[in-house]
Protein backbone atom coordinates (compact mmCIF):
# COMPACT_ATOMS: atom_id res chain seq x y z
CA UNK A 1 0.00 0.00 0.00
CA UNK A 2 1.30 3.45 -0.88
CA UNK A 3 2.07 5.60 2.15
CA UNK A 4 -0.14 8.28 0.62
CA UNK A 5 -3.12 5.93 0.19
CA UNK A 6 -6.12 6.22 2.42
CA UNK A 7 -6.70 2.97 4.39
CA UNK A 8 -9.56 0.92 2.94
CA UNK A 9 -11.80 -0.69 5.53
CA UNK A 10 -14.27 -3.53 5.05
CA UNK A 11 -17.34 -1.42 5.79
CA UNK A 12 -16.18 1.36 3.46
CA UNK A 13 -15.42 -1.02 0.58
CA UNK A 14 -18.88 -2.62 0.83
CA UNK A 15 -20.58 0.71 1.65
CA UNK A 16 -22.31 -0.99 4.55
CA UNK A 17 -23.57 2.27 6.04
CA UNK A 18 -25.63 2.75 2.89
CA UNK A 19 -26.56 -0.89 2.37
CA UNK A 20 -27.73 -1.59 5.91
CA UNK A 21 -29.87 1.51 6.07
CA UNK A 22 -32.00 0.70 3.03
CA UNK A 23 -34.47 -1.51 4.91
CA UNK A 24 -37.42 0.75 5.72
CA UNK A 25 -40.58 -1.22 6.61
CA UNK A 26 -43.64 0.42 5.08
CA UNK A 27 -45.79 -0.71 7.99
CA UNK A 28 -43.64 1.42 10.29
CA UNK A 29 -44.81 4.53 8.42
CA UNK A 30 -48.39 3.84 9.56
CA UNK A 31 -47.86 2.52 13.07
CA UNK A 32 -45.81 -0.25 14.70
CA UNK A 33 -43.60 -2.03 12.15
CA UNK A 34 -44.71 -5.59 11.36
CA UNK A 35 -41.92 -7.85 12.56
CA UNK A 36 -41.76 -10.06 9.44
CA UNK A 37 -41.66 -7.19 6.98
CA UNK A 38 -37.92 -6.89 7.63
CA UNK A 39 -37.45 -10.48 6.44
CA UNK A 40 -39.59 -9.74 3.39
CA UNK A 41 -37.52 -6.68 2.47
CA UNK A 42 -34.10 -8.27 3.02
CA UNK A 43 -35.02 -11.40 1.08
CA UNK A 44 -36.16 -9.41 -1.94
CA UNK A 45 -33.20 -7.04 -1.76
CA UNK A 46 -30.96 -10.11 -1.75
CA UNK A 47 -32.77 -11.38 -4.83
CA UNK A 48 -32.04 -8.11 -6.59
CA UNK A 49 -28.34 -8.27 -5.70
CA UNK A 50 -28.12 -11.78 -7.14
CA UNK A 51 -30.06 -10.63 -10.23
CA UNK A 52 -27.43 -7.94 -10.69
CA UNK A 53 -24.66 -10.55 -10.63
CA UNK A 54 -26.57 -12.79 -13.05
CA UNK A 55 -26.89 -9.88 -15.47
CA UNK A 56 -23.17 -9.16 -15.06
CA UNK A 57 -22.37 -12.73 -16.14
CA UNK A 58 -25.06 -12.85 -18.81
CA UNK A 59 -23.94 -9.64 -20.51
CA UNK A 60 -20.40 -10.98 -20.77
CA UNK A 61 -21.73 -14.25 -22.26
CA UNK A 62 -23.72 -12.28 -24.83
CA UNK A 63 -20.62 -10.28 -25.73
CA UNK A 64 -18.59 -13.47 -26.22
CA UNK A 65 -21.29 -15.07 -28.36
CA UNK A 66 -21.51 -11.97 -30.56
CA UNK A 67 -18.03 -12.55 -31.97
CA UNK A 68 -17.51 -15.00 -34.83
CA UNK A 69 -15.96 -17.43 -35.18
CA UNK A 70 -16.51 -18.68 -31.64
CA UNK A 71 -13.29 -20.42 -30.65
CA UNK A 72 -12.91 -23.02 -27.89
CA UNK A 73 -11.27 -20.61 -25.45
CA UNK A 74 -14.31 -18.32 -25.48
CA UNK A 75 -16.59 -21.33 -25.35
CA UNK A 76 -14.87 -22.45 -22.15
CA UNK A 77 -15.32 -18.99 -20.59
CA UNK A 78 -19.00 -19.02 -21.62
CA UNK A 79 -19.46 -22.41 -19.98
CA UNK A 80 -17.82 -21.23 -16.74
CA UNK A 81 -19.96 -18.08 -16.55
CA UNK A 82 -23.16 -19.96 -17.33
CA UNK A 83 -22.24 -22.38 -14.57
CA UNK A 84 -21.86 -19.44 -12.17
CA UNK A 85 -25.37 -18.27 -13.08
CA UNK A 86 -26.66 -21.77 -12.32
CA UNK A 87 -24.99 -21.76 -8.88
CA UNK A 88 -26.57 -18.38 -8.13
CA UNK A 89 -29.97 -19.66 -9.25
CA UNK A 90 -29.62 -22.57 -6.84
CA UNK A 91 -29.04 -20.14 -3.96
CA UNK A 92 -31.99 -17.98 -5.04
CA UNK A 93 -34.29 -20.99 -5.15
CA UNK A 94 -33.22 -21.96 -1.65
CA UNK A 95 -34.10 -18.49 -0.34
CA UNK A 96 -37.78 -19.21 -0.95
CA UNK A 97 -37.57 -21.59 2.00
CA UNK A 98 -36.43 -18.72 4.21
CA UNK A 99 -39.34 -16.47 3.32
CA UNK A 100 -41.72 -19.39 3.86
CA UNK A 101 -40.88 -19.24 7.56
CA UNK A 102 -43.27 -16.30 7.49
CA UNK A 103 -46.86 -17.47 7.95
CA UNK A 104 -49.82 -16.12 5.92
CA UNK A 105 -51.06 -14.21 8.99
CA UNK A 106 -47.60 -12.66 9.41
CA UNK A 107 -47.77 -11.52 5.78
CA UNK A 108 -51.23 -10.02 6.25
CA UNK A 109 -49.77 -7.75 8.94
CA UNK A 110 -48.22 -5.59 6.20
CA UNK A 111 -49.46 -6.89 2.83
CA UNK A 112 -51.95 -4.10 2.16
CA UNK A 113 -49.25 -1.47 2.60
CA UNK A 114 -47.42 -2.88 -0.46
CA UNK A 115 -50.20 -2.30 -3.02
CA UNK A 116 -49.61 -1.83 -5.95
CA UNK A 117 -45.95 -2.88 -5.66
CA UNK A 118 -45.26 -6.38 -6.98
CA UNK A 119 -42.41 -8.73 -7.76
CA UNK A 120 -43.57 -8.49 -11.37
CA UNK A 121 -42.03 -5.01 -11.31
CA UNK A 122 -38.50 -6.34 -10.88
CA UNK A 123 -36.80 -4.72 -13.85
CA UNK A 124 -33.68 -6.82 -13.39
CA UNK A 125 -35.56 -10.14 -13.41
CA UNK A 126 -37.50 -9.10 -16.49
CA UNK A 127 -34.25 -8.07 -18.15
CA UNK A 128 -32.76 -11.49 -17.37
CA UNK A 129 -35.73 -13.13 -19.10
CA UNK A 130 -35.36 -10.87 -22.12
CA UNK A 131 -31.59 -11.30 -22.34
CA UNK A 132 -32.04 -15.08 -22.23
CA UNK A 133 -34.57 -14.96 -25.05
CA UNK A 134 -38.10 -14.71 -23.72
CA UNK A 135 -38.85 -11.84 -26.10
CA UNK A 136 -38.10 -14.21 -28.99
CA UNK A 137 -40.91 -16.47 -27.78
CA UNK A 138 -43.37 -13.69 -26.87
CA UNK A 139 -43.12 -10.89 -29.42
CA UNK A 140 -46.04 -9.04 -27.83
CA UNK A 141 -44.38 -8.85 -24.45
CA UNK A 142 -45.98 -6.14 -22.32
CA UNK A 143 -44.30 -3.96 -19.71
CA UNK A 144 -47.44 -2.20 -18.51
CA UNK A 145 -46.82 -3.01 -14.84
CA UNK A 146 -43.60 -0.97 -14.85
CA UNK A 147 -43.12 2.75 -14.48
CA UNK A 148 -42.58 4.61 -17.79
CA UNK A 149 -38.77 4.74 -17.43
CA UNK A 150 -38.42 1.01 -16.72
CA UNK A 151 -40.93 0.15 -19.43
CA UNK A 152 -38.98 2.13 -22.05
CA UNK A 153 -35.73 0.51 -20.92
CA UNK A 154 -37.15 -3.02 -21.21
CA UNK A 155 -38.63 -2.29 -24.62
CA UNK A 156 -35.12 -1.36 -25.81
CA UNK A 157 -33.68 -4.57 -24.34
CA UNK A 158 -36.40 -6.64 -26.04
CA UNK A 159 -35.20 -5.41 -29.45
CA UNK A 160 -31.59 -6.47 -28.87
CA UNK A 161 -30.25 -9.95 -29.82
CA UNK A 162 -30.86 -12.41 -26.99
CA UNK A 163 -28.82 -15.39 -25.86
CA UNK A 164 -31.36 -17.68 -27.55
CA UNK A 165 -30.78 -15.93 -30.89
CA UNK A 166 -26.98 -15.99 -30.53
CA UNK A 167 -27.08 -19.69 -29.66
CA UNK A 168 -29.34 -20.41 -32.64
CA UNK A 169 -26.93 -18.60 -34.99
CA UNK A 170 -23.91 -20.36 -33.46
CA UNK A 171 -25.48 -23.80 -33.83
CA UNK A 172 -26.59 -23.07 -37.40
CA UNK A 173 -22.93 -22.42 -38.33
CA UNK A 174 -21.84 -25.85 -37.05
CA UNK A 175 -19.90 -27.79 -39.71
CA UNK A 176 -19.44 -31.59 -39.89
CA UNK A 177 -22.95 -32.48 -41.07
CA UNK A 178 -21.86 -32.91 -44.69
CA UNK A 179 -18.29 -33.74 -45.75
CA UNK A 180 -16.46 -35.54 -48.58
CA UNK A 181 -19.51 -37.34 -49.88
CA UNK A 182 -20.59 -38.37 -46.36
CA UNK A 183 -24.11 -37.33 -45.37
CA UNK A 184 -24.64 -37.81 -41.68
CA UNK A 185 -28.40 -37.34 -41.98
CA UNK A 186 -28.77 -40.03 -44.63
CA UNK A 187 -26.92 -42.47 -42.36
CA UNK A 188 -28.85 -41.29 -39.31
CA UNK A 189 -32.18 -41.73 -41.10
CA UNK A 190 -31.34 -45.36 -41.93
CA UNK A 191 -30.45 -45.92 -38.27
CA UNK A 192 -33.76 -44.36 -37.19
CA UNK A 193 -35.68 -46.60 -39.61
CA UNK A 194 -33.86 -49.61 -38.18
CA UNK A 195 -34.69 -48.57 -34.61
CA UNK A 196 -38.35 -47.91 -35.39
CA UNK A 197 -38.68 -51.22 -37.26
CA UNK A 198 -37.25 -53.00 -34.23
CA UNK A 199 -39.69 -51.17 -31.95
CA UNK A 200 -42.59 -52.22 -34.18
CA UNK A 201 -41.48 -55.85 -34.03
CA UNK A 202 -41.37 -55.68 -30.24
CA UNK A 203 -44.96 -54.41 -30.14
CA UNK A 204 -46.14 -56.94 -32.72
CA UNK A 205 -44.58 -59.93 -30.96
CA UNK A 206 -45.31 -58.98 -27.34
CA UNK A 207 -47.57 -61.76 -26.00
CA UNK A 208 -48.54 -59.68 -22.97
CA UNK A 209 -50.38 -57.07 -25.04
CA UNK A 210 -54.00 -57.40 -26.15
CA UNK A 211 -54.97 -56.46 -29.71
CA UNK A 212 -56.38 -53.18 -28.41
CA UNK A 213 -53.18 -52.39 -26.48
CA UNK A 214 -51.09 -53.23 -29.54
CA UNK A 215 -53.18 -50.88 -31.65
CA UNK A 216 -52.71 -48.10 -29.10
CA UNK A 217 -48.95 -48.63 -29.05
CA UNK A 218 -48.79 -48.70 -32.87
CA UNK A 219 -50.62 -45.36 -32.89
CA UNK A 220 -47.99 -43.92 -30.53
CA UNK A 221 -45.26 -45.53 -32.64
CA UNK A 222 -46.58 -43.77 -35.74
CA UNK A 223 -46.60 -40.46 -33.86
CA UNK A 224 -42.93 -41.03 -32.99
CA UNK A 225 -42.14 -41.70 -36.64
CA UNK A 226 -43.84 -38.45 -37.64
CA UNK A 227 -41.74 -36.59 -35.07
CA UNK A 228 -38.59 -37.90 -36.72
CA UNK A 229 -39.90 -36.97 -40.17
CA UNK A 230 -39.71 -33.27 -39.35
CA UNK A 231 -35.94 -33.57 -38.94
CA UNK A 232 -35.53 -34.83 -42.50
CA UNK A 233 -38.09 -32.55 -44.14
CA UNK A 234 -37.34 -28.87 -43.57
CA UNK A 235 -40.73 -27.77 -44.91
CA UNK A 236 -42.50 -29.96 -42.34
CA UNK A 237 -40.19 -28.66 -39.61
CA UNK A 238 -41.03 -25.06 -40.52
CA UNK A 239 -44.74 -25.88 -40.34
CA UNK A 240 -44.24 -27.26 -36.85
CA UNK A 241 -42.19 -24.21 -35.98
CA UNK A 242 -44.98 -21.89 -37.08
CA UNK A 243 -47.30 -23.87 -34.78
CA UNK A 244 -44.93 -23.23 -31.86
CA UNK A 245 -43.72 -26.83 -31.58
CA UNK A 246 -40.12 -25.69 -32.21
CA UNK A 247 -38.31 -22.43 -31.55
CA UNK A 248 -34.81 -23.15 -32.85
CA UNK A 249 -34.15 -22.98 -36.58
CA UNK A 250 -33.98 -26.27 -38.49
CA UNK A 251 -30.19 -26.02 -38.95
CA UNK A 252 -29.67 -25.24 -35.28
CA UNK A 253 -31.78 -28.21 -34.19
CA UNK A 254 -29.85 -30.59 -36.44
CA UNK A 255 -26.54 -29.27 -35.11
CA UNK A 256 -27.65 -29.51 -31.48
CA UNK A 257 -28.75 -33.10 -32.06
CA UNK A 258 -25.41 -33.95 -33.70
CA UNK A 259 -23.62 -32.51 -30.67
CA UNK A 260 -25.82 -34.56 -28.34
CA UNK A 261 -25.21 -37.79 -30.27
CA UNK A 262 -21.43 -37.36 -30.55
CA UNK A 263 -20.78 -35.46 -27.34
CA UNK A 264 -17.81 -37.68 -26.44
CA UNK A 265 -15.78 -36.42 -29.40
CA UNK A 266 -13.14 -33.96 -28.08
CA UNK A 267 -14.23 -30.98 -30.20
CA UNK A 268 -17.89 -31.44 -29.21
CA UNK A 269 -17.42 -31.76 -25.46
CA UNK A 270 -17.43 -28.00 -24.81
CA UNK A 271 -20.44 -27.33 -27.06
CA UNK A 272 -22.29 -30.12 -25.28
CA UNK A 273 -21.39 -28.59 -21.93
CA UNK A 274 -22.71 -25.19 -23.03
CA UNK A 275 -26.01 -26.70 -24.22
CA UNK A 276 -26.30 -28.57 -20.91
CA UNK A 277 -25.74 -25.33 -18.98
CA UNK A 278 -28.49 -23.61 -20.96
CA UNK A 279 -30.89 -26.42 -20.02
CA UNK A 280 -29.83 -26.11 -16.38
CA UNK A 281 -30.58 -22.38 -16.41
CA UNK A 282 -34.00 -23.02 -17.95
CA UNK A 283 -34.68 -25.76 -15.39
CA UNK A 284 -33.76 -23.48 -12.48
CA UNK A 285 -36.01 -20.73 -13.87
CA UNK A 286 -38.87 -23.21 -14.12
CA UNK A 287 -38.21 -24.35 -10.57
CA UNK A 288 -38.19 -20.71 -9.43
CA UNK A 289 -41.54 -19.99 -11.05
CA UNK A 290 -43.08 -23.20 -9.69
CA UNK A 291 -41.83 -22.56 -6.14
CA UNK A 292 -42.95 -18.93 -6.36
CA UNK A 293 -46.43 -20.04 -7.46
CA UNK A 294 -46.69 -22.48 -4.55
CA UNK A 295 -45.47 -19.82 -2.13
CA UNK A 296 -48.08 -17.37 -3.45
CA UNK A 297 -50.79 -19.96 -2.94
CA UNK A 298 -49.51 -20.64 0.57
CA UNK A 299 -49.53 -16.95 1.45
CA UNK A 300 -52.57 -15.71 -0.48
CA UNK A 301 -54.74 -18.72 -1.25
CA UNK A 302 -56.94 -17.53 -4.13
CA UNK A 303 -56.55 -13.79 -3.36
CA UNK A 304 -55.19 -11.48 -6.04
CA UNK A 305 -51.55 -10.41 -5.81
CA UNK A 306 -50.48 -6.99 -4.59
CA UNK A 307 -49.73 -5.99 -8.19
CA UNK A 308 -53.22 -6.89 -9.35
CA UNK A 309 -52.49 -10.30 -10.87
CA UNK A 310 -54.62 -13.35 -10.15
CA UNK A 311 -51.98 -14.52 -7.70
CA UNK A 312 -51.23 -18.23 -7.63
CA UNK A 313 -53.29 -19.10 -10.73
CA UNK A 314 -51.41 -16.55 -12.85
CA UNK A 315 -48.01 -17.69 -11.60
CA UNK A 316 -48.88 -21.35 -12.15
CA UNK A 317 -49.93 -20.62 -15.74
CA UNK A 318 -46.55 -19.02 -16.51
CA UNK A 319 -44.46 -21.98 -15.30
CA UNK A 320 -44.50 -24.00 -18.53
CA UNK A 321 -45.35 -21.10 -20.86
CA UNK A 322 -42.05 -19.32 -20.26
CA UNK A 323 -39.62 -22.09 -21.17
CA UNK A 324 -36.82 -20.63 -23.28
CA UNK A 325 -34.66 -23.61 -24.21
CA UNK A 326 -37.35 -26.31 -24.28
CA UNK A 327 -36.12 -27.43 -27.71
CA UNK A 328 -32.87 -28.61 -26.15
CA UNK A 329 -34.81 -30.75 -23.66
CA UNK A 330 -36.91 -32.20 -26.46
CA UNK A 331 -33.83 -33.39 -28.35
CA UNK A 332 -34.03 -36.56 -26.26
CA UNK A 333 -36.94 -37.52 -28.52
CA UNK A 334 -34.48 -37.97 -31.39
CA UNK A 335 -31.66 -39.79 -29.62
CA UNK A 336 -30.89 -43.31 -30.79
CA UNK A 337 -28.84 -46.05 -29.05
CA UNK A 338 -25.06 -45.73 -29.36
CA UNK A 339 -25.03 -49.14 -31.02
CA UNK A 340 -26.94 -47.65 -33.96
CA UNK A 341 -24.95 -44.43 -34.31
CA UNK A 342 -23.46 -44.05 -37.79
CA UNK A 343 -19.68 -44.43 -37.86
CA UNK A 344 -18.02 -41.16 -38.80
CA UNK A 345 -15.40 -41.13 -41.59
CA UNK A 346 -11.75 -40.82 -40.59
CA UNK A 347 -11.44 -37.34 -42.07
CA UNK A 348 -14.27 -36.13 -39.84
CA UNK A 349 -12.81 -37.88 -36.80
CA UNK A 350 -9.56 -36.03 -37.40
CA UNK A 351 -11.43 -32.72 -37.52
CA UNK A 352 -13.15 -33.61 -34.26
CA UNK A 353 -9.79 -34.18 -32.62
CA UNK A 354 -9.51 -37.92 -32.25
CA UNK A 355 -6.44 -38.29 -34.43
CA UNK A 356 -3.45 -36.00 -34.06
CA UNK A 357 -1.98 -36.83 -37.49
CA UNK A 358 -3.80 -34.64 -39.98
CA UNK A 359 -1.69 -35.60 -43.02
Best CA proximity match to 223, nearest among 73, 333, 106? 333
What's the pLDDT tens digit per position in 314-353? 555 556 667 899 999 999 999 999 999 998 888 888 888 7
* pLDDT band with cut points at 50, 70 and 90 for residue 137: low
Which of 56 and 117 is assigned the larger pLDDT?
56
Average pLDDT, the chain: 87
pLDDT value at residue 53: 98
Residue 185 reports pLDDT greater than 70: yes
Question: What torsion, rounded to 10 degrees, do the Cα atoms 39, 45, 50, 51 define?
Answer: 130
Which of 254 and 176 is assigned the larger pLDDT?
254
Radius of gyration of the chain (CA): 26
Query: 83 near 278, Cβ under 8 Å?
Result: no
pLDDT value at residue 357: 44
DSSP state string for 232-255: H-HHHHHHHHHTTS--S-HHHHHH
Q: Is the peptide bond before 116 cis (omega within 30 degrees of 0)?
A: yes
Query: 291 near 93, Cβ under 8 Å?
Result: yes
Residue 3 reports pLDDT greater than 80: no
* pLDDT band with cut points at 50, 70 and 90 for residue 194: very high
Tell me which of 91-100, 200-209, 252-261, 303-312 is least confident.
Answer: 303-312
Which of 142 and 76 is assigned the larger pLDDT?
76
* pLDDT band with cut points at 50, 70 and 90 for residue 13: very high
DSSP state string for 122-183: -HHHHHHHHHHTHHHH-TT---TTS-HHHHHHHHHHHTSPPHHHHHHHHHHT---SEETTEE
Check residue 5 and report its DSSP letter: S
pLDDT value at residue 294: 85
What's the pLDDT tens digit per position in 259-316? 999 999 999 999 999 999 999 999 999 999 888 888 888 887 765 554 444 455 555 5
Residue 239 reports pLDDT greater than 60: yes
Residue 253 reports pLDDT greater than 50: yes
pLDDT value at residue 354: 46
pLDDT value at residue 316: 54
Amino acid sequence: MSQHSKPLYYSDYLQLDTLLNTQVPESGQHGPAAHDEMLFIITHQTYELWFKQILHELLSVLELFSKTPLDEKRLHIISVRLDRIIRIQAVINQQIGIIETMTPLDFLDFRNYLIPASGFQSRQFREIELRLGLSHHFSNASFGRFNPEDSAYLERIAKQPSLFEWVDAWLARTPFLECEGFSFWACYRRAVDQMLASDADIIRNNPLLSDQEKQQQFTEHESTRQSFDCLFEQRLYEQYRQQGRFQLSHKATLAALFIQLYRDEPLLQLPFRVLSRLMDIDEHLTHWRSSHALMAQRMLGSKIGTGGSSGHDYLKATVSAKRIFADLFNLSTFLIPRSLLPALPNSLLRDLGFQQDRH
